[in-house]
Amino acid sequence: MAKPLVLSLDGEEFPVKLAKIDRERLYGSVTVEAFDEHGDEVFLRVLAYDGKTIIDKGGTALATVTEQGDSIPRNRLIAVSSDGEELEPVPSSFSAPNLLERATVEDYLSHTVKSVYALEAAEESELDHLRDSLSDGRIYKFPFSYRGGLEYDGAFLIGNKEGIFMIVGQPAVLKFLKLGQAVVLEPTEEQEVAADDLDFDLL
């Protein structure tokens, strides 16, 4: 059985299981099929800048290179903060209890959402106290990393009539603007979204 995530509130521990939720599981999805004038199916591919090299899925790779353009293997890279300090890896949040702290709604709204999970009590545990604590609109947060890594994301617990949810996100760069900080208006981008990127239209 998968290891539960342990949440800690008011000295009580709540082992929980996570079930990922996304749009596809709630509403379904939309895919695009395309056909040429003879009714034969055609497929989206990448065309290189030379106008003749056609690349299928899996035909490209990401490489890390130095300023001179030389490839450098990942095991020789060093992760640093914006101040240039070398970063210590953070452990997975599943490895120890996670202490919950009160969060404001503005704090939550200042994060860009990466993933959403529904919480279930792990075997033989009860979530009553946690549910009660969230019932009056309170939000709790804790630093979260699924597998461990270089930095934590922010995880927020929100309760509603459907249950308890954990929303994981990263803090967003929000700017408070003054009179002298007018921006230059760029023209409307009539750029099309790639056809295979579309999974909308069920609203």
Partner 1 sequence: MPINISNEKQRDAVVAMEGVRPKRDVRYVDEDMNAVFNRRLLKTDVSHELPELMKKLPNFEDISEALVDADPEIDTENFGMFLTETSRVYVGDGGIVHSVEEFEVVTNPDGTERERRPRKKEPQNINTDVPLKWTGKFIKKPDAVKRFVFAGKKQLAHINGLTFDFLYEIAKKLHEEDSLLLLRAGEHRDRPLVMNRGGKPYNAFLEGRIEGDSYCLILHLSNMELKRPAPIEDDRMPATAKRKASAEPEDKKKLTRAKPAVTEHDVADAEPKKIKAAKKKADTKTRK
3 state DSSP class of 27: helix
Sign of the dihedral through C-alpha 123, 95, 145, 110: positive
# of chain residues touching partner 1 (CB under 8 A): 105
Using the contact rule CB under 8 A, the part of the chain among 5-13, 31-39, 92-100, 124-132 near partner 1 is 31-39
> Measured from the CB atom, is 46 or 99 closer to partner 1?
46
> Measured from the CB atom, is 1 or 193 closer to partner 1?
193
Token readout for 192 is 């099309």
- What is the C-alpha separation between 51 and 139, in angstroms, rounded? 52
Within 73-112, the residues that bind partner 1 by CB under 8 A are: 76-82, 84, 87, 105-106, 108-109, 112
Within 39-68, the residues that bind partner 1 by CB under 8 A are: 39-49, 53-56, 58-67
Q: Is 4 a residue that touches partner 1 (CB under 8 A)?
A: no
132 phi, psi to nearest 5 deg: -60, -40
In the complex, what is the shortest distance from the CB of residue 155 to partner 1, in angstroms, rounded to a whole number? 14
Q: Is 199 a residue that touches partner 1 (CB under 8 A)?
A: yes
In the complex, what is the shortest distance from the CB of residue 97 to partner 1, in angstroms, rounded to a whole number? 25
Q: Is 2 a residue that touches partner 1 (CB under 8 A)?
A: no
> Measured from the CB atom, is 37 or 124 closer to partner 1?
37
Q: Is 9:130 a contact under the CB 8 Å cutoff? A: yes
Q: Is 135 a residue that touches partner 1 (CB under 8 A)?
A: no
- What is the C-alpha separation between 93 and 146, in angstroms, rounded? 6
Token readout for 51 is 């106008």
> Measured from the CB atom, is 13 or 79 closer to partner 1?
79
Token readout for 190 is 């009539």
- In 3D space, the residue among 68, 91, 88 whose CA is nearest the CA of residue 78 turns out to be 88
